[in-house]
């Protein structure tokens, strides 16, 4: 029998999903990623340590986005040189 202190700070994955207003499937996907949400598996049950999950979530949030692309309206128009004489074609 497990002592009550063993799972202190851990919650079942379903309860964790409900607290984040996410589906269990989303939490399961996060756990399945290569650098995914850490969890403890006891039999068929999965438990998530709250403090570790908080650090993992904030670590994901800290990733930087790609810089925005410049607007096409600001870019100068593209001009083409047309070769009209035979010397320029050679």
pLDDT (tens digit per residue) in 35-88? 899 999 999 999 999 999 999 988 877 566 777 777 666 556 666 666 665 555
pTM here? 0.60
CA distance 45 to 28: 12
Task: Give the chain's domain count.
Answer: 1
| Nearest CA-CA partner of 27 in 37, 35, 41 | 37
Residue 90 predicted with pLDDT over 70: no
pLDDT, tens only, 5-23? 788 899 999 999 999 999 9
Structural domain of 25: 8-61
In a domain, 2, yes or no: no
In a domain, 3, yes or no: no
Angle at CA of residue 61, ends 55 and 63, nearest 5°: 115
CATH number at residue 50: 1.10.10
Count Cβ atoms below 10 Å from residue 26 Cβ, excluding itself.
12
């Amino acid at each position: 029998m497990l002592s009550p202190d063993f799972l202190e700070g851990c919650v079942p994955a379903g309860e964790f999903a409900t607290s984040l207003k996410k589906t269990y499937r989303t939490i399961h996907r996060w756990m399945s990623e290569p650098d995914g949400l850490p969890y403890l598996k006891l039999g068929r049950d999965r438990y998530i340590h709250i403090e570790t999950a908080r650090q993992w979530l904030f670590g994901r949030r800290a990733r930087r986005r790609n810089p925005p692309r410049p607007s096409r309206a600001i870019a100068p128009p593209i001009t083409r040189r047309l070769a009209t004489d035979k010397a320029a074609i050679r």
